[in-house]
Chains A and B, each alone.
Chain A
């Protein structure tokens, strides 16, 4: 309810003694509450992952328990932790690459080759986003089994890459459309081939868009649970998201090993948080790129 001009206006009014500053207080109060609500779960997760189980089960609560790395070493000993990290990384990277390649080609086509009905085709592609992933896992299970792609990173990549493609196409279309066609036109007249156009001209110019969608897709793949959970059977392709459910459903004499669960949580969250810290603007541009022109 307050934009830049409002504040300026209120300051003016204040100088004229016409209004109270409560709006400002309310604003900072809202900011504080918002920050608390967002950060509190993160703090809780971090606290639980660097404390021993005994320190977590104290009454009254210990808000800053003694710091320890023991949970990480326990995890490494008890589950193929590094393998899971590697799988998550591999899965995220390959999915991102596949999605970007398929989406970029399609986006170029939709942006540059227009004919009656091309808009409808794009719309149909986007419509497939509405199909729930959960509704496809049964046939996909059989398809992947038939192709011997069950329990492989490759199989997972195909499935998730496909799921992420429509949104990526949508965003990339608007990015490509922002590139003035004259540049390509000039290159065509100089005799460039299509691949050369892609590599020499489009890629550099649309790089912000590609980076953005790369980040978003990497995060989506890193976080994805349903597909690895359904299609991975051994450590050959299980990811961190699967491992956290295993640890949760697993069992120790101390029961739910919250300290270990939170440790995997931290491992999953830390890279992503670092990513968004450095690329917040870029990600926002991508997320809104499709919805807001």
Chain B
């Protein structure tokens, strides 16, 4: 089986609806299937037949979803017609749309495909149906341990599961194997190794840096903060020792170790990637889509060997290997005021079953994840499959740091951390300010501590 890596149509994921300064797009993994914005407010008018359900998906997922339905012949077998409704890729729009519909006792979708940010807001507004009794019994064995842990935090409310994810994207450790081999240097395996890479690679005369990232405010910085804090063994939203260690480490990487390019603080991913393609970066953290980007037509001239963007396990920090990276995902949920709830439940059971998961993964990356069945049925020579397998086998995937008011909380983190990194505040002030502001937000949940 080969996963199609079609990146020719580079739509972009638009994250602002009624204005979001801190869009969590980077945090929600831009992914291989990014979406454009054509959203029809309420889709096709619902037919009177009981056996038609509306499934809300992104524009970019449409073809894969359709392929899944066609290849399995679902509608014929079950008698349920599945109407694919394009949802907006902007969470505010969806939130507003669903809220007003639910208040009126209906819903634009029976089943919805949604991201982590909507998971927190919509679930806590009480819009989802618990799906535990719809899940196949073997699902908890099929999901990888990391996926299960993640589900317990991000897809569970009051002990009830409300979402099962279908993709599984994590920040990957990319490195210039050709450079490392040429210098005879081993890939950094620990934080100390990383800090020492500055002496090996950073060269001001050529403008090369050991590493670079996209650290600008607006949900970019927060990804890296979460990544490093998880490696330090904690949750940044707890503002504990792990976060303190992480901040100090990042600061040193930029200011004393000469390892990370300080200009990263104003980078979004384009500058980061552009610098990598300009041979100015020895290794970096980046989402899976980068692999597709490197192999795309735009970089054909540059992509002479796989060694230019090789994948390794992320460096291990004080937190141990279990928190080397984390995954973010999109998944399926059932809305409680769905017009055709019974049919939707039937569909849902089918959708999350093992066989369907395997069939779906064959349609493209949007449905590729780390479920054992999926990995077993995937082409082991494919770079993405290899990466997910490698990280899963090593147990390197921790739970994405969680906060019930995720978007607001990440803005607080970013504001303060950014001030610290640009020498506007010292570490202790930064930490106490962050802690105070997060406390003012309201409760950090018990789930948050479970993830550390």
Contacts and interface: CB of A to CB of B under 8 A. Distances in A.
Q: Do chains A and B touch in the complex (CB under 8 A)?
A: yes
Interface of A: 54, 57, 77-80, 229-236, 242, 245-247, 249-257
A50 to B, nearest CB: 19
A28 to B, nearest CB: 38
B18 A78 contact: no
Given A79-B14, A247-B14, A254-B10, A233 B270 contact: no
Interface stretch (B37-45, B189-197, B250-258): B37-45
B5 to A, nearest CB: 12
Contacts of A80: 37-38
A250 B289 contact: no
B307 interface: no
Given A250-B16, A253-B289, A79 B34 contact: no
B425 to A, nearest CB: 26
B315 interface: no
Given A79-B36, A234-B39, A249 B17 contact: no
A246 B26 contact: no
B289 A229 contact: no
Interface string B19-42: 111010110001000101111010
A242 B93 CA distance: 14
Nearest to A236: B41
B268 A57 contact: no
A250 B93 contact: no
A253 B20 contact: no
B114 to A, nearest CB: 17
A233 B93 contact: yes
Contact of B270 (A229, A235, A236, A255): A255
Contacts of A235: 37, 39
Nearest to A83: B38
A250 B96 contact: no
- Interface size class on chain B is 35 or more
A249 to B, nearest CB: 4
Contacts of B37: 78-80, 235, 246
Contacts of A251: 12-15, 25-26, 30, 34, 268-269
A243 B90 CA distance: 13
Contacts of B39: 234-235
Closest 7 CB pairs of A and B: A255-B270, A252-B12, A250-B14, A249-B16, A78-B36, A229-B19, A255-B268
A256 B268 contact: yes
Contacts of B68: none
B193 to A, nearest CB: 28
Nearest to A231: B18
A245 B15 CA distance: 10
B1 to A, nearest CB: 24
A20 B96 CA distance: 70
B18 A232 contact: yes
B92 interface: yes
Of A54, A79, A232, A233, most buried by chain B (CB within 10 Å of CB) is A233
Contact of B293 (A78, A232, A253): A253
B271 A255 contact: yes
A78 B271 CA distance: 22
B267 to A, nearest CB: 8
Contacts of B11: 78, 252
Nearest to A258: B270
Q: Which of A247, A250, A251 has the most CB of B within 10 A?
A: A251
A115 to B, nearest CB: 45
Nearest to A79: B37
A256 B25 CA distance: 13
B274 interface: yes
Contact of A245 (B19, B272, B274): B19
B34 A77 contact: no
A234 B34 CA distance: 19
A165 B293 CA distance: 51
B41 A252 contact: no
A78 B36 CA distance: 5
Contacts of B38: 80
B14 A233 contact: no
A250 B13 contact: yes
A80 B23 CA distance: 21
Contact of A77 (B21, B36, B269, B289): B36
Interface string B234-258: 0000000000000000000000000
Contacts of A254: 10, 270, 273-274
A10 to B, nearest CB: 50
A121 to B, nearest CB: 36
A78 B90 CA distance: 14
B115 to A, nearest CB: 13
A54 B92 CA distance: 32
B440 interface: no
A253 B214 CA distance: 12
Interface in B287-323: 289-290, 292-293, 298
B411 to A, nearest CB: 13
Interface string B76-90: 000000000000101
A254 B34 CA distance: 12
16 contacts: A57-B274, A78-B11, A79-B37, A230-B19, A245-B19, A246-B16, A249-B16, A250-B14, A251-B15, A251-B30, A251-B268, A252-B34, A253-B269, A253-B293, A254-B270, A254-B274
Contacts of A256: 268, 270
B56 interface: no
A256 B274 CA distance: 11
B36 A253 contact: no
Interface string B386-410: 0000000000000000000000000
B11 to A, nearest CB: 5
Output the residue of B11, B25, B290 with the most chain A CB within 10 A: B11
Contacts of B130: none
Contacts of A232: 18
A57 B275 CA distance: 11
Contacts of B14: 79, 246-247, 249-251
Given A236-B41, A256-B268, A249 B34 contact: no
A249 B218 contact: yes
